[in-house]
């Protein structure tokens, strides 16, 4: 098999802290192995506009600690069409790009799958999303930073909840999944955690609040995943049915920003370098990941046929801690 000489890297979908560390790892490990590297700006949208430029070691200097992505990112409707995918494949071939590293979430991996069906470009996905909902890896780049950011916010809110004897309903991101809510709820000592994967009962939530109030606990934190319900709706329900002072807080995009944690930087560096290594060894249509502390690679289609599930025992544990 002919060795590859030129690869490209892009970030796609929602930004996640650590994406820059991963871009840096892809670029520097590729240069180390004697490859040419291009950066594609604004994900698949930028590919279709030929926003492609050479990357050097210097162009990724001083970014390991920066949140967001220096390549920018976007969600592309055009790339979801067969014409868009064909155009993308044609542009990559015209630029002589033989390998493409896509850092992003499940939508971005799907884009990679479509591209791999009609093009000879070797595709290597790297999971990067705060939602951590991609199968084939225990952790996606950005999740650790996001949960620590959300946790810091929850810890701060708890001070006010305690001082004013209030109930706070805090909504976190996660799209259709409850990974963020479960982790920050458990770490933040939330009295209740509502996630989309497990049916919840607002009447039971009321009982729990009444019981804890009777025991002398006059403040509570309820963490809700955006995919389960809206914090505002839960607040309204609680206000209608209890005498407690309830506030709703949506953490929103602040969870996506900020300097990546050490964990995310190391993960991003390992996954970026491993993606290049797999391309060099001739692998294609894969997504790299980390499972049980070991670097792994799964066929990229795996993310379409498998669903990553939350550990519901963590929910039970959180309930146990809330008695």
- State which of residues 130, 161, 195, 273 lies at the interface with ligand F6P (CB under 6 A): 130
CB 76 within 8 A of CB 45: yes
Give the DSSP letter of residue 34. T
- State which of residues 39, 99, 105, 188 lies at the interface with ligand F6P (CB under 6 A): 105
167-175, 204-212, 230-238, 297-305 -> range binding ligand F6P (CB under 6 A): 167-175
Helices (H) and strands (E) in the chain, counts: 11, 11
CA atoms 304, 310, 311, 316: torsion sign: negative
Establish if 256 lies at the interface with ligand F6P (CB under 6 A). yes
Site string for ligand F6P, 22-51 (x = CB under 6 A): ------------------------------
Establish if 129 lies at the interface with ligand F6P (CB under 6 A). yes
- Smallest gap from Cβ 21 to ligand F6P, in A, equals 18
User: Hey, which residues does 249 pair with through a beta bridge?
Assistant: 170
Phi and psi angles of residue 218, each rounded to the nearest 5 degrees, phi first = -105, 10
User: Hey, which residues does 102 pair with through a beta bridge?
Assistant: 10, 125
- State which of residues 173, 190, 209, 273 lies at the interface with ligand F6P (CB under 6 A): 173
- Smallest gap from Cβ 111 to ligand F6P, in A, equals 14
Establish if 303 lies at the interface with ligand F6P (CB under 6 A). no
| Angle at alpha carbon of residue 16, lines to 93 and 50, rounded to 5° | 25
User: Hey, which residues does 124 pair with through a beta bridge?
Assistant: 101, 286
Establish if 131 lies at the interface with ligand F6P (CB under 6 A). yes
Q: How many residues lie near ligand F6P (CB under 6 A)?
A: 10
- Smallest gap from Cβ 237 to ligand F6P, in A, equals 22
Query: Is the CB of 41 or the CB of 278 nearer to ligand F6P?
Result: 41
List the end-to-end C-alpha distance of the chain, in Å, as a whole number: 62
Helix (H, G, I), strand (E, B) or coil at 180: helix
- Smallest gap from Cβ 174 to ligand F6P, in A, equals 5
Query: Is the CB of 17 or the CB of 84 nearer to ligand F6P?
Result: 17
- Quickly tell me which residue has 């809206």 as its tokens: 230
Query: What's the half-sphere exposure (Cβ side, CA atoms, 13 Å) at 93?
Result: 12
What residues have CB less than 8 Å from 141, skipping those under 6 apart?
Answer: 16, 17, 18, 19, 21, 22, 103, 126, 127, 128, 129, 260, 264, 267, 268, 271
31-39, 40-48, 127-135, 209-217 -> range binding ligand F6P (CB under 6 A): 127-135
- Smallest gap from Cβ 130 to ligand F6P, in A, equals 5
Q: Is there a catalytic annotation at residue 133?
A: no
- State which of residues 18, 174, 272, 289 lies at the interface with ligand F6P (CB under 6 A): 174
Query: Is the CB of 29 or the CB of 69 nearer to ligand F6P?
Result: 69
List 131, 133, 144, 264, catalytic entry: 131
- Smallest gap from Cβ 295 to ligand F6P, in A, equals 24
- Smallest gap from Cβ 79 to ligand F6P, in A, equals 16
CB 23 within 8 A of CB 70: yes
Query: Is the CB of 99 or the CB of 174 nearer to ligand F6P?
Result: 174
Instruction: Please give, one letter per residue, the 3-state secondary structure of 120-144.
Output: CCEEEEEEECCCCCCCCCCCCECHH
Active-site residues, by number, are 131
Which residues contact ligand F6P by CB under 6 A?
14, 105, 129-131, 173-175, 226, 256
């Amino acid at each position: 098999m002919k060795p590859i000489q030129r690869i490209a890297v892009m970030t796609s979908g929602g930004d996640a802290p650590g994406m820059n560390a991963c871009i840096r790892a892809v670029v520097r490990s590729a240069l180390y192995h004697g490859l040419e590297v291009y950066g594609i700006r604004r994900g698949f949208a930028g590919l279709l506009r030929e926003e492609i430029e050479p990357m050097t070691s210097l162009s990724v200097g001083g970014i390991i600690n920066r949140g967001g992505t220096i390549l920018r990112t976007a969600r592309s409707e055009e790339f979801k069409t067969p014409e868009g995918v064909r155009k993308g494949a044609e542009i990559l071939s015209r630029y002589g790009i033989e390998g493409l590293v896509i850092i992003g979430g499940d939508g971005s991996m799907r884009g990679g799958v479509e591209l791999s069906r009609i093009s000879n470009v070797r595709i290597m996905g790297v999971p990067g999303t705060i939602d951590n909902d991609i199968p084939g890896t225990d952790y996606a780049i950005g999740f650790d930073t996001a949960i620590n950011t959300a946790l810091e916010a929850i810890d701060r809110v708890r001070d006010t909840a305690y001082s004013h004897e209030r109930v706070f309903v805090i909504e976190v991101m996660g799209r259709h999944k409850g990974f963020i809510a479960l982790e920050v709820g458990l770490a933040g000592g939330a009295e209740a955690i509502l996630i989309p994967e497990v049916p919840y009962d607002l009447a039971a939530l009321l009982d729990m609040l009444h019981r804890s109030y009777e025991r002398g606990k006059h403040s509570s934190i309820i963490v809700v995943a955006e995919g389960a319900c809206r914090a505002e709706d839960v607040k309204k329900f609680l206000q209608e049915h209890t005498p407690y002072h309830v506030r709703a807080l949506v953490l929103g995009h602040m969870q996506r920003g900020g300097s990546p944690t050490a964990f995310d930087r190391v993960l991003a560096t390992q996954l970026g370098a491993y993606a290049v290594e797999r391309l060099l060894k001739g692998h294609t249509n894969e997504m790299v990941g980390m499972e049980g502390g070991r670097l792994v690679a799964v066929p990229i289609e795996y993310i379409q046929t498998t669903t990553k599930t939350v550990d519901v025992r963590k929910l039970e544990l959180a309930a146990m801690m809330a008695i």
